Amino acid sequence: MTDVDVLSSRMKSRLHLQTKTIGADRIKKAKDNNEDIAVLSMFLPNASAVEENRSFYCSLGDYCRLGDPRATKAGTKKMEYKTRQWHENCFCCCVCKMAIGTKSFIPREQEIYCAGCYEEKFATRCIKCNKVITSGGVTYKNEPWHRECFTCTHCNITLAGQRFTSRDEKPYCAECFGELFAKRCTSCVKPITGIGGTRFISFEDRHWHHDCFVCASCKASLVGRGFITDGPDILCPDCAKQKLM
């Protein structure tokens, strides 16, 4: 029998960063402290901004939406994130190309994603329904499942948190596995499932639960003792002798 591995969803927590429009002093403080924020500001026309504007280069380079990655027209806005800069409209999702604006975004390997595209591309998906696992799930054979999707192949009862076993790579609850595949006890005819380390005895082509392996006459347990077969029955030596007398 197998225990399902219960987990708090293995999907990485999505890092939603928020863009902020802030003043020059706050921008300097954010840079000095290496804060993980994107800064939305405006190109200024005054002399103090000339040198800063001159160093600007849009990270989209040749793909800059304004046609010139060095454009710094006064009144237009720019976005800064860590050591990179963009024109406001160039700071966009690398998948859908929609401008991020002041919405949440997720950085990954030098690319910027909107929340929806990041989820579509990277989120952990259930192997059964292919939908995103947003909260707790389970793993079985290193594959992710929603708890409600991890069910018995035969009866569809939820297996999360339950003991189960598998056959041909498919999970079954203990009851269904016993009814469909398990050996049956010669005495009580119920399945021998092995749940909880159940012990059983086998002799030739017959099988018994540990507690069912008793003398057909006196009902004494024959586990660990000698016994005599008498057709379909098994007898302890004493009862076998009495039967022969």
**The predicted structure's pLDDT at residue 55:** 85
Q: Is 173 helix (H, G, I), strand (E, B) or coil?
A: strand
For 135, which DSSP code? S
For 45, which DSSP code? -
pLDDT at 207 over 70: yes
Q: Are strands 111-114 and 137-140 parallel, antiparallel or unpaired?
A: unpaired
Please tell me the pTM assigned to this model. Answer: 0.49
**The predicted structure's pLDDT at residue 1:** 43
Q: Is 178 helix (H, G, I), strand (E, B) or coil?
A: helix
Which domains does the chain possess? 24-113 (2.10.110.10), 137-179 (2.10.110.10), 199-244 (2.10.110.10)
Lowest model confidence (mean pLDDT) among 39-48, 51-60, 134-143, 228-237: 39-48
The pair of three-digit structure tokens given for residue 118, joined into one six-digit string: 């990041």
Q: For all residues of the chain together, what is the average pLDDT? A: 81
pLDDT digits (tens, 9 = 90+) for 106-152: 898 889 999 889 888 888 889 899 888 877 788 888 899 999 999 99
